[in-house]
Each structure stands twice: as C-alpha cells, then as structure tokens.
Amino acid sequence: METNCHEHGACDRYSKLFSEYNVHLNDEKVSAEVAHLIEKNRDKYDTPEVLNTLLGTVELTTLQVTDSQESVLKFVEKVNKFADAHPELPHLATVCVYPNFAKIVSESLEADKVEIACVSGGFPSSQTFLEIKTTETALAIHDGATEIDMVLSLGTFLSGDYETCADEIAELKAVCGERALKVILETGALQSAELIKKASLLSIYAGADFIKTSTGKISIAATPEAAYVMCQTIKEYHAKTGTWIGFKAAGGISTVKDAVDYYTIVCELLGEEYIKAGLFRIGTSRLANLLVQAITGTDEKPF
C-alpha cells in the first residue's frame, strides 16, 4: 500500500494506533469464525422477541435518484400511519434520506422518537471538496437532521493518507456536535478483514459515533464477515476506553434470516444491553415490511 502522509508524525501516529490492536487478520479464519458463531447461536435468537427488537433497529431508507418532495412525503406518511396503527410495536429507529429532504421530513414526521438521518459529504462516493462536505452537513442539520451518515474517503484511505481521512471525520463530527455521526466504511470495496479493521479503528478514533458497513450502492454490500470484524473492533475499543461505539449494518439486508444473522453476531460479541441501548441499527428499504409480516402473521406492507 502506498504511504502518503502529510507529515512523518501522522504516519507514526496511525502506525502506533494499529499496533495497539490485532489488525493482521486472516480472511479465511474470519469467515470460519463467523460461520461457526452463527451456526452455534442463531437458533436461540430466532424468536418473536428478537423480531420485535429488530424492528426497532430499522433505519427505513429511501436513497433513489427518483426521490422527490412528493415521494419522500408519502414515505414519511407511511411511517406516521404505521406508528398510529401499531402502538404495541416498537417504533422504527430512524428515517434516512438525502440531505435536501431533511426539511420535509422534519416538518412531516410525527412518529415519536424516530430520528432523522441524512447521508452527507458527497454520498455515496465521498469524492468532493471538504468545504462541500461540511456545508452539506451543516445545511442538513439546519433543516432538521438529527443524525449524519458520511462515507470514509476510500481512495485516500487506500493510498495510506490516514491523516486526511481522520481530519475529514473530525471536521464533520465538529459540525454534528451532539448529533450522531455514522462513518460508512464501504467494506465491499475494502475487501480484506485487515483493511476493514484499520478503517474501523481510524473512524472511531477520529470521532465516529457509529461505524456502518456500506452505502448499498456497490455490488458487495454488508456481509457477516465485515460485521464480525467491525463488532470485534468495537468490543476491543470498549475494553480499552470504556466507550461504546454504535454499529450499523446496511446494504443488501433483505430477509428476516439476514437480520437474525446480524443480530446473532452483534448480541454474541457486544451483548443484549448494547442492543437495548440503541447502538445496533439496520439500514434497509425492504426488510421492515418483512419483519412486520413475521411479527403480525399477516400480509401487511405498511412501508
């Protein structure tokens, strides 16, 4: 990997960070560990209680090129109607939209305790000027976004310029203030467990409140292996610092079985209290209806 640090100290700083953790992971070993963990534990989580919990982790998402003020308003109205019709079920965690729709969501969302997330910072490629990233983020927050999802600058990361990557995350976190910042690693583009772990560590130490698998805009999205590495990193960071970082799986999670698999990984590595604290999220546009159907035993498609 090419190394291109702005200053020698920056290289040393991140080399030191990575040396404090086991980043030299074997992909085949990780795959075997994940398969064993799921096979051994999955059945105990395939329960009605877990399905209810999973519904409460959903970040209902619309990130289409055809999104419009009208379509997003209808999208939010479905969330409102569902909350009114099913007060006995958990509320969704979040509604996730492009930044230009933050205002209409904030003005029309009536469901209690549902956050408003916006993808920001040149989503999904992160290929734009830092000034644009910070301005876009500030505008989204001004219009009502309560959470921000940004994409790690992958080209910069893969070239070894960790300082620039970390500075960008820190700048967007400064704009977010107390609002949660999720850093999307785009793990399918990173391709190896070692790079996923390094990207996780860099993002966490730069200020991420959550680390997130994917944008859903490339062919390889969330995988159990990526989730396993990211959750292991969160667990190790917590052991060192006492601080919990959130985890969001997103991209290609389209069946209840997929959701239970991810729940199994998170619960086994990070615990039930972690999930109860709202630190586990699933970004999806399809899964929510399937979870409602599985919970209610009907063909209902509220979203």
CA angle 158, 161, 166 (to 5 degrees): 105
Indicate if 182 belongs to the active site: no
For residue 235, how far is the Cα from the chain centroid? 16
Catalytic residue selected from 143, 149, 161, 261: 149
**By the 8 A CB rule, do 258 and 266 touch?**
no
Indicate if 167 belongs to the active site: no
**By the 8 A CB rule, do 120 and 96 touch?**
no
CB count in 10 Å sphere of residue 18: 17
Half-sphere exposure of 61 (CA within 13 A, CB side): 27
Which helix (H) or strand (E) segment holds residue 211: the answer is strand 210-212
Collect all residues with Cβ–Cβ distance below 8 Å to 44 and sequence separation of at least 6. Answer: none
DSSP secondary structure of 46-85: -SHHHHHHHHTTEEEE---TT--HHHHHHHHHHHHHHHHH
For residue 163, how far is the Cα from the chain centroid? 22
Indicate if 248 belongs to the active site: yes
Catalytic residue selected from 197, 248, 258, 261: 248
Which helix (H) or strand (E) segment holds residue 184: the answer is strand 180-184
Catalytic residue selected from 173, 182, 197, 212: 212
Instruction: Please list the alpha-helical segments (H only) found in 144-223.
Output: 154-158, 162-176, 187-190, 193-206
Say how far apart CA 91 and CA 84 lie, in whole Å: 10
**By the 8 A CB rule, do 210 and 173 touch?**
no
Q: Which residues are catalytic?
A: 149, 212, 248
